[in-house]
Amino acid sequence: MKTGVKKTALANAVWLKDVAPSAELRKWFGHDPKKWEWFQRRYRVELKQHEAVLESILEAARRGTVTLLYSSHDTEHNNAVVLRDYLQRKLGSDNQSRRGKLAA
């Protein structure tokens, strides 16, 4: 995972606000590894409510590599990890033969 990317290098990045964890969930989690399992469960519930928005990420992944960005210093306990795993499961259950690539 690459760290320390400057905002100027992200000129072509697309931010899908509806895919981010809710402010309530982020505040509750507070990047506390003890809450990680519950954070994942709660975030997946939120993701299920935004399936239409996720479709644009899945389509991009079917065409090539999608890089998910996050601002946490913890590379193992952050929303991008949950989102990556969620999307990979979706791609794996996809009946289309092409599989996408996701990097968090």
pLDDT digits (tens, 9 = 90+) for 1-29: 456 677 777 777 888 888 999 999 999 99
Q: Give per-residue pLDDT as tens, 60-91.
A: 999 998 989 888 889 999 999 999 999 999 99
Q: Which two tokens stand for residue 46?
A: 């939120």
Q: Which two tokens stand for residue 32?
A: 């506390």
* pTM recorded for the entire structure: 0.81
Q: Is 35 exposed, middle or buried (0-12, 13-18, 19+ CB in 10 A)?
A: middle
The pLDDT of residue 51 is 93
Q: How many angstroms separate the CA atoms of 12 and 86, rounded?
A: 24
Q: Which two tokens stand for residue 3?
A: 């760290």
When pLDDT is cut at 50, 70 and 90, the band that residue 101 belongs to is: low
The pLDDT of residue 97 is 40
Buried b (16+ CB within 10 A) or exposed e, 45-60: ebbeeeeeebeebbee
The single-letter DSSP state of residue 10 is: G
As beta bridge partners, residue 66 has 102
The pLDDT of residue 102 is 67
When pLDDT is cut at 50, 70 and 90, the band that residue 98 belongs to is: very low
